Each structure stands twice: as C-alpha cells, then as structure tokens.
Chains A and B, each alone.
Chain A
Amino acid sequence: MTELASYNFAYLDEQTKRMIRRAILKAIAIPGYQVPFASREMPMPYGWGTGGVQVTAAIIGPEDVLKVIDQGADDTTNAVSIRAFFQKVADVAVTTHTADATIIQTRHRIPERKLSEGQVLVYQVPIPEPLRFLEPRETETRKMHALEEYGLMHVKLYEDIARHGRISTTYAYPVKVAGRYVMDPSPTPKFDNPKMHMSEALQLFGAGREKRIYAVPPHTDVVSLDFEDHPFEIQRFEQSCALCAAHGVYLDEVVLDDKGGRMFVCSDTDNCEDRREHGHSGEMLAPSKEAAE
C-alpha cells in the first residue's frame, strides 16, 4: 500500500467537501459575495493556491478533465505540481487544451479561447477583499459590502488618476458583479476583465489563507469600475506574438540576451501552440534572410 492510498478521492474527506460545496452554492446564489469557509490545511504552503485547490477538490469527479495554468502557462512549477497532485489523489485526466478541459484552475489569467457552457474556471486568490487597500478593518469592510457603500473604490481610482494621469491599476482591477457586489478578480490582469462579463463558464474564486469563496455564475454582468471621463480600458499591445503572430492577446515580454534583445510572446501557451499547429507563425519562427546566410 502506498501512503496515498489512505487519502479519500481528491484528498479532502467527504464531510469537508460538503462544507466547501455549501459555501460554493451560497457564493453562486449571491454573485460576488465573499462566503467564509473553514479553509483546511493542504499539503502545500499558502500562496501556492490552497484556496483554488480546495475548490477544485470539492467539485472534481472521476470524469473531469483538469487543466492548470499559472500566468497563462501550463508548464510552470506551480501549475505542474497542482496538476500532478490531482492526478495522484483523484486519478483524473489532465490536459493543456482549454477546449478539452472541464475544470481549469488558474492563477492570473483567463484563457484566450472563449470558455463554454459546462466549463468551470477556478481562480486561486491571495487577497479577496477589494476594499482592504483603503479600509483595513474587516468589521467596516463587511458593513460597506452589506450596505453597498462603495465610494471608497472610486477613491482608489481617483488617486490613480491624480498620480498618474490615468487609471494605472492593471491587476486586481475592481468589478461590480450582477449590479450589486464589488469584487476583486485578483490577481488577474485587467486585460481579462471583459472575459468575465457574461461568460458561459462558471467562475469560482478560492482564497485559502483568507478563508473566502466567491463566484460569478454563467451569464452574469461583470462591470469594471471607472469614471465617465476616464473610462475602463484594457491593456493594448502594439506587438503581435513573436511565435504565432497573434494580435489582441495578452503578451509577456521575454528577455533574449543581455544586449537588450527581447520579444513578446503569448502568455496563454496553449493558445499559442494551437495557433502554430494551425500554420500561424510569428517573426521569430518565420524563415529570415539572416538565418539563411
């Protein structure tokens, strides 16, 4: 017998899973509302996605196909180890293909490919409270949510404009969900905020250290906060992907050498590979005169 044989399916015991599922159901019923839950110790440190892992463990079944991404990539240490964890404790199929996955656990990014009905996107969240930046007292932030007192969120955006001439917040950009609760999509880049709006997929957020779960059900309004004279805008990239020539996707800057050489490539590695398989090629891959010489 291996040591793992003593674990229940998907690591957590059934009672714990039921407790987490109840929190998830409540979160779905009140979109954007942070539901407290009794976060469990997981065999990985906080900061490594324990909230997301507990949510995934509570909803995953033997028939599910799991994809795990970190900064858009399937092959980072964090993504690899979480994927390996669920292969071990739940013996589920895993994939890197967004279209094939039934559950996608993520830190930072929402896949470029449009998610569809039946898919679940599970976010690993470090700080769930959008008001904490200016109001550290939790008794007060809870009251502000309850009474829908969200002026403080605009104070934060005001400060951005006063300091930088524009809203400079690029990550964890606050949104209003279903016209009611203000929510922190942390630490997703604001580039992905529009993908949350009216998504066909169910979006679940787990914060392990902070013991909170929240959700955006499918087909829900998700509106990024802004000012009339400083409307919400996503990041725009002038370049296209150096590998697959994609435009209008989120790009990472990669340093090539110590002489200032750099390139921009897709943050979503699966999307990039898929495009290359379909014959798209960026400037790094295109046959060049220099290479031929």
Chain B
Amino acid sequence: MNDTPLFKVSGVSKFYGQRIGCKDVSFDLWPGEVLAIVGESGSGKTTLLNCLSTRLMPTAGSVEYRMRDGQFRDLYHMSEAERRFLMRTDWGFVHQNPADGLRMTVSAGANVGERLMAIGDRHYGNIRATATDWLSRVEISTDRIDDQPRAFSGGMRQRLQIARNLVTGPRLVFMDEPTGGLDVSVQARLLDLVRGLVNDLGLSAIVVTHDLAVARLLSHRMMVMKDGYVIEQGLTDRVLDDPREPYTQLLVSSILQV
C-alpha cells in the first residue's frame, strides 16, 4: 500500500477578495509520513491547513483522500455528512488551544470516549476501558479519568486532546501549532510523546508550526511558506541543513543565532 499516496493535493488556492490566503499548493502525502508546514504568522500556513482539513473551502484546487476501501475521494465534493464522519473517525485535528478541541465541562474519560460513542459504541464498560488505556498512553494518570480538563495543566490538556483524537485509530492527523503556548520543558515532553505515537501507530500527519525545532523533531518533509506561496520544500534535514531559498536561509540562521 505504501506505493500509493494517502492524500493528494493539487493547485489549492484561497483568496480573500484580492488578498491571497494561499496560492497554488500541490503535494502528495504518503502513509506514515509527517509533513511540516513552516512559516511566520501571515504566511498562509493556517489558511492552507484549514483548506486541507476541509474546515475552509478553497477558491480553487482539489484534495483527494484515499479512503479505507482504497478509493480516492475528492474532499470538496463529499457531502457534509460524509466529511464530518471522516473527521471524527479516520482523521484527527489537534488545535493549538486544547480548549478548542476538548469539552472542558465533561470528564477526561468522556472526552476520550466521545468519538467511540459517536460511531455507535454502546457498552459503557468497554468505552471506559478504552479511555483508561488511552489516558495511560498519553501519560495521564488513570485516576484522573473522572476529572474535567478544567482541572488539568496545559500540557495534560494537550495530551488529552491527542488521546481524544487517536481513540478511533485515525490514519491522518492535522496539528495546528501543537506545542504553542506551552512551556519549553513541557513542549519537549509533548514532542517526544507525539513522535512516539506517530511512529507506533504509523500515522500520517500534517503539522503547522512557526517553530523549526518542531519541524526538525517531528517531520520527515517540510514546506516553507511565505506570503501565501510555498517557496521551498524537501526532506526536513535537507531543508534545514542546506536551505536553498534566501528566506529559508534567513529563518534557519535566525534560529541558530539564538
């Protein structure tokens, strides 16, 4: 199966009137591959992520996704019901702010179990057992299962959000600045955890970040965006060690000076 892409993006553009959100983006994503989309704020990386994840309709272009039956489907021509089903089963979306991706007033167990219930799991004991398992996989003490995320630290909330997304065994996860807003030491632990899960589960992921260290640790391949355009892309190590575009060279050198 690995000789077929999971996700095929072709000519995706988003305009806001005359202003460019992102322009003419094309790439393929392979099973098990992690792609980082890197850029400064206003570069168009978040607009692109929203288009790819169908949270936003692009002005032009197409995105095809290989469904579990092996058939490619054009995401922008799916019904809303199908898209929403895909998003809560075969995809995950990790928000920068965990409060945007969690239900803050229900317990950690219910947060993890919600997707299972949404796809028809009707056995409380099984749902709870699965939630318990996932809490320990994201290093949250299982005696916190009945606590609300309101009582959790920022790092725990982010790990809970990840568990909530992965419980249905998705094949593709979108992440929007997953370590943004966290303390540096907490960031490092979260990155280790995410890297481990991605490897263990063979996930494909598209990670948006302004942080080249995140791209370096998590991604196999990266794209650099500026003013809505992808200006450079390639294997992550190649781009970071041998940047070709002056803008990328500037980004990399500004990191190294710190």
Residues of A within 8 A of B (CB): 134, 143, 147, 149, 151-152, 154-155, 158-159, 161-163, 226-230
Contact = CB atoms under 8 A, between A and B. Distances in A.
Interface of B: 80-81, 84, 103, 105-107, 109-110, 113-115, 117-119, 122-125, 127-128, 145-146
Contacts of B80: 143, 147
12 contacts: A149-B84, A152-B118, A155-B103, A155-B106, A158-B109, A158-B110, A161-B124, A162-B128, A163-B146, A226-B122, A228-B124, A230-B124
A227 B125 CA distance: 9
Given A152-B117, A152-B118, A162-B145, 9 more contacts: A134-B105, A134-B106, A147-B80, A149-B118, A151-B119, A155-B110, A158-B110, A158-B124, A162-B107
A151 B118 contact: yes
Nearest to B124: A227
B107, B110, B127, B146: most-surrounded residue (chain A CB, <10 A): B110
A198 B124 CA distance: 28
A220 B127 CA distance: 31
Given A162-B107, A162-B110, A162-B146, A155 B117 contact: yes
A37 B84 CA distance: 29
Contacts, number: 53
B88 to A, nearest CB: 8
Given A159-B110, A229-B124, A151 B103 contact: no
Given A149-B84, A151-B118, A158 B123 contact: no
Contacts of A152: 114, 117-118
A154 B127 CA distance: 11
A251 B45 CA distance: 62
Nearest to B118: A151
B42 to A, nearest CB: 29
B81 A147 contact: yes
A227 B123 contact: yes
Contacts of A155: 103, 106, 110, 113-114, 117
Given A159-B107, A162-B107, A151 B114 contact: yes
Contacts of A162: 107, 109-110, 128, 145-146
A227 B114 contact: no
Nearest to B148: A159
A158 B109 CA distance: 9
A139 to B, nearest CB: 13
Contacts of A151: 114-115, 117-119
Contact of A229 (B84, B118, B125): B125
A158 B117 contact: yes
Contacts of B103: 134, 155
Contact of A147 (B84, B124, B125): B84
B106, B115, B124, B125: most-surrounded residue (chain A CB, <10 A): B124
Contacts of B122: 154, 226-228
